[in-house]
Amino acid sequence: MQNYRDLKVWQSAMQLAKSVYRITAPFPSHETYGLTNQLRRAAVSIPSNLAEGHARSTTRDYLRFVGIAQGSLAEAETQIELAHRLGYVPADDLRTMFEQTNELGRMLHGLRSALTAKLAPTSLTPES
């Protein structure tokens, strides 16, 4: 059984969380308990849910946690966009962040598809 730390999707999610911490560091102090906190929590939630799901005993549980990670990714993307619109995130950083979130989104979709396929019953062809 593979360790969750070996999963490229988890590594990508950790990189995104690190990037979020980097871009939120210069946010105004009045955002410390607002947008800064919300964005960091959403970003940290992604690899955390992947790790927790991987540790669960059933594929169905794992799939549920991947879904939660996808929701947290959408939340983080929305908050990154808002931070840009408020002037906290420069356009270059926005592009870089969205490249990361798009790639991570593809990876999460792939993981979700693989887990869903694992749950699908095998089709038996009738003998003629």
Please write the tens of the pLDDT for every residue from 43-81. 999 999 999 999 999 999 999 999 999 999 999 999 999
Question: Which letter does DSSP use for residue 127 in this model?
Answer: P
Give ∠ CA 97-101-102 in degrees, rounded to 5.
115
1: confidence class by pLDDT, cuts 50, 70, 90: low
Give dist(CA 65, CA 52) in Å, integer.
Answer: 7
What are the pLDDT digits (tens) for 3-12? 999 999 999 9
Q: Are 82 and 23 in contact (CB under 8 A)?
A: no
Give dist(CA 107, CA 18) in Å, integer.
Answer: 18
Q: Are 27 and 83 in contact (CB under 8 A)?
A: yes
The pTM of this model reads: 0.91
40: confidence class by pLDDT, cuts 50, 70, 90: very high
Mean pLDDT over all residues of the chain?
A: 94
Looking at the chain, the whole-number percentage of residues with pLDDT higher than 70 is: 94
CA distances from 64 to 19, 56, 115 (A): 25, 10, 10
**Overall size of the chain counted in residues:** 128
Looking at the chain, the whole-number percentage of residues with pLDDT higher than 90 is: 90
